[in-house]
């Protein structure tokens, strides 16, 4: 007789669990036959005692198989990317159309903002009419026709993870490499991928602030995803300052469109995007080496093919047909937009990136509670980066807010997040490791 309490006891005592026991336990999470108490006890036992790689693979595959697993019959590789989150991280909006223009198919399952970090779905919802929750049939049609579709997780994808995550959140078991790995990959692998690239952030604007933490998570995800049959690599990238010049939903969409049109406002953003896309093309067999991959990506960008794919995706998912031609006519605009001047001149030596993200939340662009309604127009733009000079002609950035009072509060928060010095300092390495 199979008893869930015996599975919990074995993990509590530090024993490795059999794959069959993990599969049955996860099935019980998904179908509701296990109580919240049993699920919480299991999560805490894993949190304290940990899992080996074989257990992590079994847990991830069970999460994947707890709901619908997509399958595809398309003439190219099925690829996706996942980021652990940051500030000004709009890479998904660029990467999906770039890869589609190079022959990939990208069913990108994305999420909403969490804490101080922005969410891709929130950004896309600033586009009028964009449907982040299409039917499975519409998703398949858009991916087949356009080559990419960025959407939210459906109810049928990895339902066990949804329940387990809620219980982890209220029982102090979120910060587990084992459970984080299974949570990320359960959803991603349910999308039926051939190739996955991970962007694991580290620095003061990342959840994994310390490089050792980021490397541990990246190594776990790479080992488990490859063990589950999906060709996966991870880049560890810097989040000690915002990635883009913008932080805020509609503002980041505007910057993404500008970049796809050829205007690189942030070399950091473009460099990480190209690094991730280069890895995907070589892993997918669409390029023989990094140099050939970069040539393909630059052609897709400079020819306008990537911009066209983004425009087609927006239109196919309900957005304006002329969105990329006239994004400013469609994106919401804040009532107040003013420059944020530094109290003194100098070079930027440090940015508290998490504080910048929290300032966006305070403006109304992020959630303090899960049911908060966002103001998609607010945030910051034209942000100064580390090593750049600010003075009477160059502000720290622009704040976009609903009222003059909120604009002043946002400006004060941005000033507090910046440190200035007399000499220009080099920024930290952008790509810190590849696993």
Instruction: Kindly list the strands in the beta sheet with 346-351, ordered across the sheet, starting from the edge strand earlier in the chain.
Output: 389-390, 346-351, 418-421
Residue 162 annotated among the catalytic residues of the structure: no
Which SS3 state, helix, strand or coil, does residue 108 take?
A: strand
The residue from 56, 64, 187, 245 that is catalytic is: 187
- Residue 106 phi, psi dihedral angles, 5° rounding: -125, 90
Count CB-CB contacts under 10 A for residue 427: 15
Residue 11 annotated among the catalytic residues of the structure: no
Contacts of 267 (CB under 8 A, 6+ apart): none
Instruction: State both tokens at 138.
Output: 């519409």
The residue from 56, 168, 233, 245 that is catalytic is: 168
319 vs 269: CA distance, rounded Å? 25
282 vs 297: CA distance, rounded Å? 12
Residue 377 annotated among the catalytic residues of the structure: no
The residue from 56, 64, 81, 309 that is catalytic is: 81
Question: How big is the CA angle at 43 (ends 215 and 48), to the nearest 5 degrees?
Answer: 60
Of 259, 251, 348, 337, the residue nearest 297 (C-alpha): 259
Residue 187 annotated among the catalytic residues of the structure: yes
361 with 367: CB under 8 angstroms? yes
Residue 169 annotated among the catalytic residues of the structure: no
* Helices H / strands E in the chain, number of each: 17, 12
259 vs 91: CA distance, rounded Å? 11
The residue from 65, 80, 89, 375 that is catalytic is: 80
The residue from 66, 84, 117, 120 that is catalytic is: 120
Contacts of 137 (CB under 8 A, 6+ apart): none
Instruction: State both tokens at 273.
Output: 């995007």
The residue from 11, 21, 60, 83 that is catalytic is: 83
The residue from 11, 56, 64, 82 that is catalytic is: 82
Residue 337 annotated among the catalytic residues of the structure: no
Instruction: State both tokens at 406.
Output: 């909120």
Strand partners, 214: none
Residue 201 annotated among the catalytic residues of the structure: no
Residue 183 annotated among the catalytic residues of the structure: yes
The residue from 188, 215, 309, 354 that is catalytic is: 188
The residue from 92, 126, 181, 183 that is catalytic is: 183
163 vs 69: CA distance, rounded Å? 18
Residue 400 annotated among the catalytic residues of the structure: no
Active-site residue numbers?
80-83, 120, 168, 183, 187-188
């Amino acid at each position: 007789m199979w008893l869930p309490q015996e599975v919990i006891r074995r993990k509590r005592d530090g024993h490795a669990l059999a794959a069959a026991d993990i599969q049955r336990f996860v099935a019980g999470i998904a179908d509701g036959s296990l109580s919240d108490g049993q699920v919480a006890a299991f999560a805490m036992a894993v949190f304290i005692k940990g899992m080996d790689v074989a257990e992590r693979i079994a847990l991830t595959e069970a999460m994947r198989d707890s709901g619908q697993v997509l399958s595809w019959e398309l003439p190219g590789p099925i690829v996706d990317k996942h980021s652990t989150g940051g500030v000004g991280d709009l890479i998904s909006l660029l990467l999906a159309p770039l890869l589609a223009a190079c022959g990939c198919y990208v069913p990108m399952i994305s999420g909403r903002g969490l804490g101080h970090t922005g969410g891709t779905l929130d950004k896309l919802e600033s586009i009028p009419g964009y449907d982040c929750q299409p039917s499975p049939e519409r998703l398949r049609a858009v991916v087949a026709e356009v080559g990419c579709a960025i959407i939210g997780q459906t109810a049928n994808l990895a339902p066990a993870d949804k329940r387990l995550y809620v219980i982890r959140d209220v029982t102090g078991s979120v910060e587990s490499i084992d459970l984080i790995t299974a949570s990320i990959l359960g959803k991603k692998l349910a999308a039926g991928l051939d190739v996955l690239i991970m962007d694991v952030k580290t620095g003061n604007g990342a959840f994994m602030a310390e490089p050792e933490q980021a490397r541990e998570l990246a190594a776990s995800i790479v080992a488990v995803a490859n063990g589950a049959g999906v060709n996966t690599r991870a880049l560890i990238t810097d989040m000690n300052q915002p990635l883009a010049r913008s932080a805020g939903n509609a503002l980041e969409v505007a910057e993404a469109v500008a970049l796809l049109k050829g205007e690189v406002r942030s070399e950091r953003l473009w460099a990480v995007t190209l690094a991730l896309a280069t890895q995907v093309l070589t892993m997918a067999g669409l390029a023989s080496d990094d140099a050939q991959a970069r040539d393909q990506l630059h052609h897709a960008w400079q020819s306008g093919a990537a911009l066209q794919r983004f425009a087609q995706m927006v239109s196919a998912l309900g957005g304006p047909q002329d969105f990329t031609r006239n994004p400013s006519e469609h994106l919401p605009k804040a009532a107040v937009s003013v420059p944020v001047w530094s109290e003194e001149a100098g070079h930027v030596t440090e940015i508290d990136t998490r504080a910048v993200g929290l300032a966006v939340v305070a403006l109304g662009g992020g959630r303090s509670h899960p049911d908060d309604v966002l103001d998609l127009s607010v945030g910051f733009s034209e942000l100064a980066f580390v090593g750049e000079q600010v003075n009477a002609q160059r502000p720290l950035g622009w704040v976009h807010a609903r009222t003059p009072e909120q604009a002043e509060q946002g400006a004060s928060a941005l000033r507090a997040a910046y440190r200035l010095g007399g000499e220009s300092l080099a920024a930290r390495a952008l790509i810190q490791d590849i696993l």
